[in-house]
Amino acid sequence: MLGLHLIPIVIFIVHGCSGGNILVVPVDGSHWINMEVILRELQSRGHQVTVLRSPNSWLKSTRFDLLLTDPAFPTGVILAQYLKLPMIYSVRWINAGEAHGELAPSPPSYIPAYNSLFSDNMNFLQRTLNLLRYLVSILIEEVFIMPVYSELLHRHFPPGADLRSMQHSADIWLMRVDFVFEFPRPTMPNMVYIGGFQCREAKPLPTELEAFMQSSGEQGVVVMSLGTLVSALPKEMTEVIAEAFSRLPQKVVWRYLGHRPSNLANNTLLLEWLPQNDLLGHPKTRVFVAHGGTNGLYEAIYHGVPVLGLPLLFDQFDNLVRLKGRGAARVVDASAVNVEDFVEALRDVLENPSYRDNIQRLSRLHRDKPLSPLDTAVFWIEYVIRNKGAAHLRSAGASLPWYTYHSVDVGIFLLALGVAFLWVLIYACRLCHWSYRTKSKVE
């Protein structure tokens, strides 16, 4: 049996009347929020979905058609190999960086490294720093990440099994990316783009919240949320934000956990939870103050709401760099924010029409597709079920060692040939010269 102490799981089964039998190994937090959208759609189409989530035993004998997983942590990857199942990723991040870099060509000359805060147009110094970040990420993966799983793989898999090859074996990579937001870059045939698949048309708000929105009049409403991971900000920062909001003519809906700021004004409504997608789709919403999480930014793009970014963690900084580069967001430094700067930034995004024009253009581009991102995701999941995999879409390059992939071995071979040819040429020249001198002496 696979080491269950290393992969603690419990099974939640959502039954469908027909269709495929899908095993799901998710990652918690916002990753699960993403995954759940796809699972509900699969369930509505008659597929049986089994989700592995917490400690207990399971039924290994179940005949699954595929495994759907988020490879930010490799539990699902290893389990798919152990059960010999076709595998589909719902993915943006994997191990030491962004998923494209694991599979597709990613030249550091114009592909920004994780948290570099660079665009795809870098000067010489930026390209140098970007290359160093790229090399460090490779070093981290090789030295700190891969060895963690070597004992598990040695115990339960044939000799030579390695995590990287397992990660590359996914049939379809459902990339939570849309190139209206992401910088253009090389891709692969089995990478399918579903960025914004969780977005949907706004539903009516609860009565009291709708009344608050309508009370804003022509000025409209500012919506603020910092996502699922950040429960509270430092007291000094919350009071700065509360004071800035008090100086606005707009109403404010703020998802807030913790002690009520002492300087909170009457124009600001605090909620422990808010229907973010429905608020962003409301005609009274003017600006979204956000931490820069992927889900929130795609919802802002979908509904055409400009963003004031307050990045705090992880990829939020890079995400907002991308949206700022599109002219649809402004970013403030959370570590040095003060009332005057925050008010000025808010008023800029509220009053400068270029922000709204730019993000509404992104919204039109994002929606202009032959198939919605969610329908695209479901199509490819069902495609893999029908065809028992999609090996024909996987590049042979994914299974090559790095020195073969980058033709290092060929380069060394050609260099050796060149050196050998040069040595033979020099030796022949010396031999001819020696022969000529010998002949001259004899004469």
Residue spans of the chain under pLDDT 70: 1-18, 28-29, 53-58, 60-62, 228-231, 433, 435-443
- List Cα–Cα distances, 409 to 103, 164, 242, 403, 441, in angstroms: 20, 20, 61, 6, 48
CA distance 42 to 88: 14
Q: Are strands 48-56 and 9-14 parallel, antiparallel or unpaired?
A: antiparallel
Q: Please tell me the pTM assigned to this model.
A: 0.82
Find the helix or strand (DSSP H, E) in which 230 lies.
none
Q: In this structure, what token pair is assigned to residue 212?
A: 């608050």
CA atoms within 13 A on the CB side of 117: 6
Q: In this structure, what token pair is assigned to residue 146?
A: 């891969």
CA distance 132 to 440: 60
- DSSP 8-class letter at 144: I
Whether the Cβ atoms of residue 111 and residue 185 lie closer than 8 Å to each other: yes
Q: What is the pLDDT of residues 224-273, one digit of tens each?
A: 998 766 667 788 888 999 999 999 999 999 998 888 888 888 999 999 88
Could you tell me which residues are beta bridge partners of residue 68?
A: 24, 88
- List Cα–Cα distances, 279 to 296, 302, 359, 441, in angstroms: 11, 12, 16, 100
pLDDT the model gives residue 443? 57
Q: What φ, ψ does residue 106 adopt, rounded to 5°?
A: -140, 70
CA distance 330 to 345: 7
CA atoms within 13 A on the CB side of 116: 27
pLDDT the model gives residue 442? 56
